[in-house]
Structure 1
Amino acid sequence: MLTGILPVLPTPFTASGEIDEAAMARITDFAIEAQVDGVVFPGFASEVDELTAAERTTLLKVVTARVRGRVPVVAGASAATADLAIQHAREALASGVSIVMIQAPKSVGTGAEAVAAFYQDIADAVPGIEIVLQNAPAPRGSDLKPEVILDIVRDNRAITYVKEETLPSGLAISAIIAGKPAHLKGVIGGGGARYFIDEYNRGACGAMPAVELADIHVAMNRAFRAGDIARARDLYMRTLPLLVIQANFRMAFTKHVLSRRGILDNRVVRAKTPPMDAHDIAEIDAWLDACADLMRETAPPHALAAGARG
């Protein structure tokens, strides 16, 4: 089962812009040490559109080697065509990963028949995989309606999870859970954990935020599952300002926080993200300082200072 906190890992780059395998290992170790329930790579938050197929494969192998089977790994296999998605899914299987997350490309449309055919082609071509159907909001995603998703899932037993992150996601999560067939194991929340409490209250089995606050998200998940909703809400409220800022700057924010925490030594991104100026950095750092008591120790102070480069 995929449950709990399943962060999407970012792609680290060297100062000159190549993929950084050593940093990928550190990010994965950080997630495991935060006691996450699984990891996802690559996803939108991994700058997946900026990676070559070879880079995706190389880094996925780094992730699986560091995880060593301790938690599930979900491999992103979204692509512009079914053939390319099939190729990514086969590469995931070759790396020892049997769960893939796929968003149907917008070119397929939003009709149940066409989208269902896309997923069925993949399931038929790669027997043995489980598919997480990712439903992302426009303009990135297709904003599939819950009834369309249910039509697709009912006839495709390879689809065992839905990641629902349209906005607002709450009603959609409720509708999918209410109508789900027996083989659908669960619905996972998206939106960077900005709607965590609502998603969990509606029955979401887990969340896929970015990784930089994984330790706090793990504590939030455990508090909620233990019935300590007040504690979960407190953690949610304390981190929400950071998640709101993260929504604007995406990967650049993630890499800044990981640099502050001593995991990365630069903030290089390939994706086009809004620039962060000194005021933005100061505001992020102020909120990080306010949450410092919630964070696991990840590096000595000198490493935090060094991590601010880039």
Structure 2
Amino acid sequence: MTDVNNPSNVESPETYLQFGDRYRGSGNLPLALKNYQRALTVAPDFAPAHERIGGIYQQQGNMMEAIASYSKAIQFDPQLLEAQLGLGNTYQQMGWAELAIAHFQKALEYHPERFLAEYHCKLGDNLRSRGKISEAIASYERAIAQNPDNIDGYRAIAQIHLHQNATEAVSAIYERAENHNSDLLQAKDYNALGVAYLLKISSITIEEEVLKADLEGKAIACFEKAIQIDPAYADAHCNLGNTFLRKDQIKDAIISYKEAIDIDPNFAQPYFNLGIILNNLGKIDEAIACFQSAIELAPDWIEAHQYLGQILARGV
């Protein structure tokens, strides 16, 4: 029987690879690396060993060494899935989207059946960063098609539509997710949908009061759903306050902002919003305290400085 702890008797690169994998699995990277390198002394063109070495370098943050090793693996075996994905991941981490796209697409070309939903999303992320929106959406749709429970695919499409202020499209993609699995959406998803409704309100005319009221109601329902799922979600409380403020429900807005502050005392936005309300109500000292808190948390917030300066200039 071969002694796992004494690989000096081993002759095949595959066995050295197995030893390396065992050591890597136990967290012993130096011994793993040594065995992968031994595999290469036996067979310098053994692509899996180059790929594994690239993985260790990437894990250690040595990105250029990782790229060199992955590239050697692909030189000897262009269709090695793990090496193509490794290069894609490394280039993505370095912000080199075009190179990441090229290697993810190669991996998809060679092994479409093994290209998991998470990698469709990674490919979509890089396409999106390069402004290739339609191609990105197609990648996210492939992720959803392969795994309908992959919430990241739905979210990524929703974010694209959110940036385009396409509220109906945001609502539609989340509705698809919810219809597939009612437990799939999380608090941040309902919060994002609520924000989409608020952004839509800002683009409609004053005359469209019925539509405005409908969108406000939908936004409130989304933020309340988010809070129901995660009561400690400060951003949802703040956004709920913003919606109440739009509807002139001042008391409800104040309660929501104070709840956001209680949950996260380092969240500057509710202090600022609350300061505006208190100033309008004539509660000047409390307003000053709110603006000061907002500025302490966000020193470069010009608007907060302006509001505070205006109050102080009145001689308070």
Q: Give the structure-2-normalised TM-score.
A: 0.28
Q: Give the structure-1-normalised TM-score.
A: 0.28
Structure with higher RCO (Cα < 8 A, 6+ apart)? 1
Larger relative strand fraction: 1
